[in-house]
C-alpha cells in the first residue's frame, strides 16, 4: 500500500503546525537502539504501483494524517 | 455473505469491523454474518443489522483454525499477528503466531475441501523488504527482511500465493506501511512510536521519540487502509 514518505522531524513539524508548539514540546527524546535498528531497516519510499492501480490511496501529506486522527479519533479536538 | 476477521480486537480489526458493520455489504454483496476472532474476545460492534459472532481463540492452537472456518466464511481478513518489536524479542511467539497461525488457517481452509475457496485477505508488511534500498521500492523488489517479523510476513506471502495457485483459496496480500495514528495504548510494534509522537501530545501526555529525527518512514492513516 502507498504511504507518505517523511522524516520524524517533518512529522514533528507537522504536529507543531497543526496543534502548536506547546503540544509538540511534549515529545521527549529517548532513543531506543532496538526500535531504531528495526525501523532503520525499513523502506523509506515505496512505489506501490499495483495498489495505486487498484484504488488504494495515501494521504497527500503528514498534516492530513494528523487532521484525520484529530477528526475521527479525537472528535475534532485536542489538549492545547 | 459471511465475513471472518482474525485479529479483530487489534487496531485495524476494530476499524474494519466497524466499517463492514456500517456498510452492511462488501463488493456489492450483503453481509449476513460477521465473525470477530482474536486471542482476547473482541468487542461487539453495535450498528450491525446481521448476525455477529465473537470468538476468543488462538489460531496456532490445535483445532482452533478448523473451528474458525467450519462455517465456511466467504471472505476472511487475516489480520491476526504479533507485532514487529514483540516478534523480535520473543522468537518463539513470533513464529508460532505469525507463521504457524497463518499456516494453520491455510491448512484448515484446504482441509475443508468440497469446493470451498474463500477470498483470503492477508496483511503483510513493508518489513518484508530490507536495506539497502533503491530511492523508491517497486512492487517486485526482492524480499530480504531484516527482522523475524518481516521474515514471517514474507513466508506468509509465499504460502498465500501457493495456496492460491493450487486453488485452495483466493488470496490477496497487502503490504501495509506504518499505520498512524493508532488509537489506544502503545504496543510493542517498533513503529508504534510513530503514532505515539502524535497521539500522546494531542492528549496532553508526554511521549518519547525512539529514533533519530532524520529517520524516514512511510506512514499512512488507518482510515485509508480500511478503504
Domain boundaries defined on chain B:
2-176, 181-219
- pLDDT tens digits, B190-221: 777 788 888 889 888 777 677 767 667 767 66
Closest residue, chain A, to B172 (C-alpha): A51
pTM of the model as a whole: 0.88
What is the pLDDT, as a whole number, of residue B190? 73
pLDDT digit of tens for each residue in chain A (80 aa)?
888 888 889 999 999 999 999 999 999 888 888 888 888 877 888 899 998 888 888 888 999 999 988 998 889 999 98
Pairing mode, strands B25-26 and B29-30: antiparallel
Average pLDDT (B96-108) is 98
Contact B198 A29 (CB under 8 A): no
Distance of alpha carbon B195 from alpha carbon B6, whole angstroms: 23
What is the pLDDT, as a whole number, of residue B227? 41
Chain B residues with CB under 8 Å of A50 CB are 139
Chain B residues with CB under 8 Å of A70 CB are 202
Which has more confidence, B187 or B134? B134
What is the pLDDT, as a whole number, of residue B225? 46
**Burial (0-12, 13-18, 19+ Cβ within 10 Å), B187:** middle
**Could you tell me the three cell numbers for B87?**
516478534
What is the pLDDT, as a whole number, of residue A39? 82
In three-state secondary structure terms, B52 is strand
Q: Which pairs from A70-78 meet CB under 8 Å and 24+ separation?
A: A70/A18, A70/A19, A70/B202, A72/B223, A73/B181, A73/B183, A73/B199, A74/B202, A74/B203, A78/A19, A78/A23, A78/B202, A78/B203
Q: With a cut of 70, say whether residue B226 has pLDDT above it.
A: no
What is the pLDDT, as a whole number, of residue B164? 97
B25: nearest Cα among B74, B71, B69, B64: B74
Contact B201 A50 (CB under 8 A): no
Q: What percent of chain B stands above pLDDT 70?
A: 91
How sure is the predictor about B1, in pLDDT bands with cuts at 50, 70 and 90?
Answer: very high
What is the pLDDT, as a whole number, of residue B223? 54
Contact B220 A66 (CB under 8 A): no
Distance of alpha carbon A31 from alpha carbon A80, whole angstroms: 25
Average pLDDT (B89-105) is 97
What is the pLDDT, as a whole number, of residue B11? 84
Interface predicted TM-score of the whole assembly (ipTM), two decimals:
0.87
- pLDDT tens digits, B5-26: 999 998 889 989 999 999 999 9
Is the alpha carbon torsion for A75, B52, B189, B172 positive or negative?
negative
Contact B12, B123 (CB under 8 A): yes
In DSSP terms, B207 is beta-bridged to A27
Average pLDDT (B74-98) is 95
Q: What is the CATH number of domain B2-176?
A: 3.40.50.720
What is the pLDDT, as a whole number, of residue A45? 87
Q: With a cut of 60, say whether residue B62 has pLDDT above it.
A: yes
Question: Which of A19, A39, A68 is opposite residue B202, by nearest beta carbon?
Answer: A19
Chain B residues with CB under 8 Å of A36 CB are 210-212, 215
Amino acid at each position: 500500500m502507498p504511504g507518505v514518505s517523511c522524516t520524524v522531524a517533518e512529522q514533528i513539524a507537522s504536529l507543531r503546525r497543526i496543534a502548536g508548539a506547546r503540544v509538540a514540546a511534549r515529545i521527549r527524546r529517548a532513543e531506543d537502539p532496538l526500535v531504531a535498528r528495526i525501523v532503520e531497516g525499513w523502506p523509506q519510499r515505496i512505489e506501490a504501483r499495483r495498489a495505486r492501480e487498484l484504488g488504494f490511496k495515501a494521504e497527500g501529506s503528514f498534516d492530513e494524517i494528523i487532521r484525520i486522527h484529530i477528526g475521527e479519533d479525537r472528535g475534532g479536538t485536542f489538549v492545547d | 455473505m459471511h465475513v471472518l476477521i482474525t485479529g479483530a480486537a487489534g487496531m485495524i480489526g476494530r476499524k474494519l469491523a466497524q466499517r463492514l458493520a456500517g456498510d452492511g455489504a462488501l463488493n456489492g454483496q450483503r453481509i449476513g454474518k460477521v465473525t470477530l476472532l482474536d486471542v482476547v474476545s473482541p468487542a461487539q460492534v453495535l450498528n450491525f443489522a446481521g448476525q455477529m459472532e465473537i470468538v476468543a481463540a488462538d489460531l496456532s492452537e490445535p483445532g482452533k483454525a478448523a473451528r474458525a472456518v467450519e462455517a465456511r466464511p466467504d471472505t476472511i481478513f487475516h489480520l491476526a499477528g504479533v507485532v514487529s518489536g514483540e516478534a523480535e524479542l520473543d522468537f518463539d511467539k513470533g513464529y508460532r503466531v505469525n507463521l504457524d497461525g497463518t499456516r494453520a488457517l491455510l491448512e484448515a481452509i484446504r482441509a475443508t475441501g468440497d469446493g470451498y475457496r474463500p477470498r483470503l485477505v492477508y496483511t503483510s508488511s513493508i518489513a518484508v523488504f530490507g536495506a539497502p534500498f533503491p530511492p523508491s521500492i517497486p512492487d517486485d523488489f526482492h524480499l530480504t527482511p531484516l527482522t523475524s517479523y518481516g521474515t514471517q510476513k514474507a513466508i506468509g506471502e509465499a504460502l498465500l500465493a501457493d495456496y492460491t495457485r493450487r486453488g485452495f483459496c483466493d488470496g490477496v496480500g497487502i503490504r501495509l506501511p506504518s499505520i498512524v495514528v493508532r488509537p489506544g495504548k502503545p504496543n510493542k510494534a517498533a513503529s508504534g512510536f510513530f503514532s505515539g509522537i502524535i497521539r500522546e501530545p494531542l492528549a496532553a501526555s508526554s511521549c518519547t521519540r525512539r529514533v533519530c529525527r532524520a529517520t524516514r518512514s512511510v506512514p499512512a492513516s488507518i482510515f485509508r487502509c480500511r478503504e
